[in-house]
Amino acid sequence: MFTSIKRFLIGRPLKSTELGEQKLNKTKALAILSSDALSSVAYGPEQILIVLITVGAAAFWYSIPIAVGVLILLLALVLSYRQIIFAYPHGGGAYVVSKENLGIYPGLIAGGSLLVDYILTVAVSVSAGTDAITSAFPSMHPYNVIIAIVFILFITTLNLRGVTESASVLAYPVYLFIFALFILIGVGVYNILTGQIPPDLHTPVGTPVAGISLFLLLKAFSSGSSALTGVEAISNAIPNFKDSAPHNAAKTLIAMGSLLAVLFSGIVFLAYYYGVSPREEVTVVSQIAEQTFGRHFMYFFIQGTTALILILAANTGYSAFPLLAVNLARDRFIPRMFTVRGDRLGYSNGIIILGFLSILLIIAFEGRTEHLIPLYAVGVFIPFTLSQSGMVVKWVREKPKGWLPKLIINSIGALISLTVSMMFFLTKFSQVWPVLVFLPLIIYLFHRIKKHYVAVGNQLSLSTCEPAVQIEGNIIILPVAGITHVVENSLNYAKSLSAHQIIAVYVPFEREDEAIFEAKWNKWQPEVRLVTLHSPYRSIINPLSKFIDTVQRKAGEANFQVTVVIPQFIPKKGWHNILHNQSSLLIRAHLLYRRNVIVTTVPYHLKE
């Protein structure tokens, strides 16, 4: 049942050798890895205007220089990450770069913040997309959280089916969105050039504005640069590309950067020229679309594809999170299960946990995750800064051919990223302070996990641990609950093991019962020693454990091993289990976890 539902949802299992077919070509990779970055166009320009409106609409012209700043930052990031791709072709992005060049803790800071960031990406973008849909159909508004969860489950399932399949599905909406925005920008610019838009809707660039301050401009810039989150995703996901992966990844990165630059500057320019002012209920893109096309087909087309890409931006998280987790798990900072490939060769544990955690976030914030945006932006710029600095260190240390221009590019990238990170802390401290709490926590956790794995490794390795004790003989303890076929079966098995001694143990709750059972036993199996342990408190485990301890102490002196043979009958149907006090399960768990005893379970399958 479970298997066939699973088959239906995620498809037949794939052989490990089919991994190559699960790789992405550039078109598909662009679709699934850039949805996060491109979707930021839907809210990035608006974030700038929201800051500027606090001093008045006259300040809107500042969005043009700010956008230029964002574009420069984008250029620096794309060039820097292009270098990272070639330098670290196995992916891992900021985590690997920082770890190798700056040391383990900077690496963990980068890895930890990205890990949390991808969860935020999924939660924030799915809630934003759901909001976009429910503002179109207000009657669905009360079901926001449920709709968002359904979307996450859908994207999770799609990703469990494998990277190529999700790419095939997701490519359409991404390219439709790009197409829609290109038409919007094209028609908008054409209208302006042909003079159909009155030029007095905006204040000219350079108009002096009362009340403007450097602090405000920095705040607007850092808000605008939240549109650059997602740029690093490609560098994490290089192993998903077709060969030669680094070249394909680099080309995809350049394509994404160019698209992002065109769309971002186009929207900012149109918003400025149209004199669009940010409004609570209607997004800036929606206002531009309405002014350009009216409430016609193209308007709804743009709205629809925007909502879709906001939801699909989550998919970038799904592509990058599992691969980053693999890198962290290989270094033993997070549980090993993240390195296991699932039926469809994706790292399914990472995918499932990402889905689970983002659903938790959405439930915890009741779908209103907007104020997590600054948190998630700062969580990206910290690893940006660390990875660029790592590259700077690398170039200085290794000095390969033509290292100077590379050094300059990464230095500029590092400097701007650092500045943006600082600006977030300076201008939006009230929203980004949780980073200062959870980053140390996560790194402490990483540290504890690593310590445990190292300790386990030492204890298991044949070279470092104490030598195994030789076993000279066996003593078998057989707890019996009655004189039944199950007991006979287990006793036969115990006898076949040529043990040194077999002790049957019976735990009666009443004194009368004790004598009756002893008599019966001695008639049935006179040659097997029976020990009865009267239990006035009606516990089976306590007297049994004490008895085993005693036997074990004596056995240990002679290098004898104690084995407890537990008869367990297994009903034909699962629900029958509640009809039997499965004390054998309890006894087994207790003995294994609390005492150092070998436990043998002899199953007895019921036929009816």
Q: Considering only residues 465 through 504, tell me which ones interact with a second copy, judged by CB under 8 A.
A: 465, 468-474, 482-486, 488-489, 492-493, 495-498
Q: Of 59-67, 178-186, 189-197, 589-597, which segment contacts a second copy by CB under 8 A?
A: 589-597
**Interaction between residue 4 and a second copy (CB under 8 A):** no
CA distance 125 to 315: 9
Dig out the tokens for 218 from the structure: 């920095």
Piece of the chain touching a second copy by CB under 8 A; list 28-36, 179-187, 279-287, 588-596: 588-596
Asked if 456 interacts with a second copy (CB under 8 A), we say yes
Least Cβ distance, residue 422 to a second copy (angstroms):
36
How many residues line the site for a second copy (CB under 8 A)? Answer: 74
Binding flag, residue 605, a second copy (CB under 8 A): yes
φ, ψ for residue 81, nearest 5 deg: -70, -30
By CB under 8 A, name the one of 72, 539, 553, 554 that touches a second copy.
539
Q: Does 455 bind a second copy (CB under 8 A)?
A: yes
User: What is the rounded distance in angstroms from the CA atom of residue 506 to the CA atom of residue 134?
Assistant: 66
Q: Return the closest-CA partner of residue 509 out of 471, 539, 482.
A: 539
> Toward a second copy, which CB reaches closer, 1 or 471?
471
> Cα–Cα distance between 542 and 522 in angstroms, integer?
25
Near a second copy in 190-219, by CB under 8 A? none
Return d(Cα 368, Cα 570) in angstroms, integer.
Answer: 49
Q: Is 328 in the site for a second copy (CB under 8 A)?
A: no
Nearer to a second copy, 180 or 602 (CB): 602
Residue 485's Cβ-count burial label (10 Å; 0-12, 13-18, 19+) is exposed
Residue with tokens 């859908």: 154
- When computed from its CA atoms, the radius of gyration of the chain, rounded to whole angstroms, is 32
In this chain, which stretch among 209-217, 237-245, 359-367, 448-456 interacts with a second copy, using CB under 8 A? 448-456
Should residue 11 be labelled a site residue for a second copy when binding is judged by CB under 8 A? no
Q: Is residue 136 a contact residue for a second copy (CB under 8 A)?
A: no
Among 205, 340, 360, 586, binds a second copy (CB under 8 A): 340
Select 396 or 570, whichever has its Cβ closest to a second copy. Answer: 570
Footprint (CB under 8 A) of a second copy, residues 548-587: 561, 563, 568-571, 576, 578-581
In the list 100, 335, 501, 533, the residue contacting a second copy (rule: CB under 8 A) is 335
Q: Which is nearer to a second copy, 34 or 568 (CB)?
A: 568
Q: In angstroms, what is the minimal distance from the CB of 29 to a second copy? A: 25
Report residue 53: phi and psi, to 5°.
-60, -20
- Nearer CB in complex with a second copy: 436/585: 585
Distance of alpha carbon 485 from alpha carbon 327, whole angstroms: 53
Contacts of a second copy in 341-380 (CB under 8 A):
341, 343
* 522 lies in the site for a second copy, by CB under 8 A: no
DSSP class per residue in 444-480? HHHHHHHHHHHHHHHHH-TTTSPPPPP--EEEEEEE-
Cα separations in angstroms, 468 against 155, 458, 461, 463: 49, 14, 11, 11
Q: How far apart are alpha carbons 521 and 529 in whole angstroms?
A: 9
Q: DSSP class of residue 280?
A: S
**Looking at the DSSP assignment, which residues form a beta bridge with residue 201?**
none
Question: Quick check: 1 binds a second copy (CB under 8 A)?
Answer: no
Residue environment code for 226-257, b if the CB has 16+ CB neighbours within 10 A, otherwise e: bbbbbbbbbbbbbbbbbeebbebbbbbbebbb
